[in-house]
Amino acid sequence: MPVCLPAGALAPGATIGIVGGGQLGRMSAMAAARLGYRCLILSDEPDCPASHVALGCIVGDYDNPDTLRAFAEAVDVITFEFENVSARGLDLLAALRPVRPGAAVLRISQDRVAEKSFLNQAGAATAPWAEVNDAAGLEAALARIGLPAILKTTRLGYDGKGQALVRCPAEAHAALLELSPKPLILEGFVDFACEISVIVARGLDGGATAFDAVENRHRDHILDLTLAPAPIDPEIAARARGLALRVADALDLVGLLAVEMFVTAQGEVVVNEIAPRPHNSGHWTIDACPASQFELHIRAVAGLKLPTAGRHSDAVMKNLVGPAQTALWPAIVATDGLIGHLYGKTEARPGRKMGHVTRLFPRGGLPGAFGIRAALGPLLPEADLPDQGIEPEGGVEPG
Residues that bind ligand AMP (CB under 6 A): 127, 150, 157, 160, 187, 189-190, 195, 218, 221, 272-273
Task: Give the HSE-up count for residue 250: Cα atoms under 13 Å, Cβ half-sphere.
Answer: 17
Minimum CB separation of residue 164 from ligand AMP in Å reads 11
Comparing C-alpha atoms, which of 163, 131, 167 is closest to residue 146? 167
Minimum CB separation of residue 132 from ligand AMP in Å reads 14
DSSP collapsed to 3 states, the chain: CCCCCCCCCCCCCCEEEEECCCHHHHHHHHHHHHCCCEEEEEECCCCCHHHHHCCEEEECCCCCHHHHHHHHHCCCEEEECCCCCCHHHHHHHHHHCCECCCHHHHHHHHCHHHHHHHHHHCCCCECCEEEECCHHHHHHHHHHHCCCEEEEECCCCCCCCCEEEECCHHHHHHHHHHHCCCCEEEEECCCEEEEEEEEEEECCCCCEEECCCEEEEEECCEEEEEEECCCCCHHHHHHHHHHHHHHHHHHCCCEEEEEEEEEECCCCEEEEEEECCCCHHHCCHHHHCCCCHHHHHHHHHHCCCCCCCCCCEEEEEEEEEHHHHHCCHHHHHCCCCEEEEECCCCCCCCCCEEEEEEEEEECCCCCCHHHHHHHCHHHHHHCCCCCCCCCCCCCCCCC
Nearer to ligand AMP, 72 or 196 (CB): 196
First to last CA, the chain: 61
Minimum CB separation of residue 49 from ligand AMP in Å reads 22
Minimum CB separation of residue 379 from ligand AMP in Å reads 21
Nearer to ligand AMP, 190 or 240 (CB): 190
Handedness of CA 306, 309, 315, 320 (dihedral sign): positive
Nearer to ligand AMP, 39 or 230 (CB): 230
Minimum CB separation of residue 77 from ligand AMP in Å reads 29
Cis preceding-peptide flag for 234 (omega within 30 of 0): no
Minimum CB separation of residue 279 from ligand AMP in Å reads 11
Nearer to ligand AMP, 275 or 298 (CB): 275
Nearer to ligand AMP, 88 or 221 (CB): 221
Nearer to ligand AMP, 190 or 263 (CB): 190
Residue facing ligand AMP at closest CB distance:
190
Minimum CB separation of residue 256 from ligand AMP in Å reads 17
Minimum CB separation of residue 32 from ligand AMP in Å reads 27
Nearer to ligand AMP, 279 or 356 (CB): 279
Minimum CB separation of residue 218 from ligand AMP in Å reads 5
Nearer to ligand AMP, 81 or 195 (CB): 195
Nearer to ligand AMP, 127 or 320 (CB): 127
Minimum CB separation of residue 187 from ligand AMP in Å reads 4
Nearer to ligand AMP, 59 or 222 (CB): 222
Rounded CA gap, 59 and 110, in Å? Answer: 23
